[in-house]
Amino acid sequence: MPVLTTQVKTDKSVHGEDCETQQHGSNITAKVQLQSVTKTYTNGTHALLNANLEVKKGEFLLITGPSGSGKSTLLKLLYGQELPTQGEVIVDECNVADLQGDRLSLFRRRIGIVFQDYKLITQRTVAENVIFVLQAQGYTRKEIQRRLEPTLKLVGLLSKADCFPDQLSGGEQQRVSIARAIVGTPPLLLADEPTGNLDPDNSWQVIQILQKLNSFGATVIVTTHDEQLVRRCNHPVVQVRNGRLSRK
């Protein structure tokens, strides 16, 4: 199984700080391991079979495979939405299955998640969507303001801060969801088919933003079934087929 070796280019975050020394960013190193992981859902579906994977800090990994092959399940195991039936999921030396309650919540704060369907709050503005989670987590107003502008700038949406989601294109909405995922400077970013609903130009924009975050030191794992995009990206690729992982 792959041991992938993309190197961290720099450890500076979008907010000009080390990824690992933020007040709320914690000291997670975002090293990810799956050790002989099998996931069987309660209805008997085998979503992953004896999967082994190691993703080092600072890597940018693409996970490809047809619909139903187990890509989303793999990401869900990484942020603890699902637990493995067998084997271990380790993120920064921490066995995800051991986390519950507050420890699981704190763990999830250190992971940014981007979904195919954006999951924005329609009655809140772009800025409000981005800062919502920080507010809920008790960040000070000053700290929220300090983070908001550079984050919106990074995703090219500073001028749309006061717009509502339905006033934005699909590509812009996905960039809001990326801004929301990264505003807390998570050292690990998981994106589940983030380009699934986008045209090639917007897809490429999204990938470039994720690449920029990776250049700031974040570990990035992206699922996609877009083979053209995979070829264009030139990142390490792991293929999932019927729940089995292989290096492409």
Looking at residues 65 to 94 of the shown chain, list those that interact with ligand ADP (rule: CB under 6 A): 65, 67-73
Full strand arrangement of the beta sheet holding 32-40: 46-55, 32-40, 86-91, 94-95
Among 16-24, 69-77, 81-89, 122-130, which window interacts with Mg ion (CB under 5 A)? 69-77
How many residues bind ligand ADP, per CB under 6 A?
A: 12
Among 30-38, 39-47, 168-176, 207-215, which window interacts with ligand ADP (CB under 6 A)? 39-47
From residue 233, how far is each of 174, 196, 204, 205, 213 by CA, in Å? Answer: 19, 15, 9, 12, 15
> In sequence order, what are the beta bridge partners of 188?
111, 219
Is 194 one of the binding residues for ligand ADP (CB under 6 A)? no
The partner in contact with residue 7, picked from Mg ion, ligand ADP, none with C-beta cut-offs of 5 to 8 angstroms by kind, is none
Residues contacting 153, CB < 8 A, separation 6+: none
Residue closer to Mg ion, measured from CB, 129 or 223? 223
CB of 116 to Mg ion, least distance (A): 7
Owner of token pair 């008790």: 138
User: Do residues 78 and 219 touch, judged by C-beta distance below 8 A?
Assistant: no
Q: How far apart are CA 150 and CA 124, in angstroms?
A: 20
Is 45 one of the binding residues for ligand ADP (CB under 6 A)? yes
Among 5, 41, 121, 248, binds ligand ADP (CB under 6 A): 41
Binding site for ligand ADP (CB under 6 A): 41, 43, 45, 47, 65, 67-73
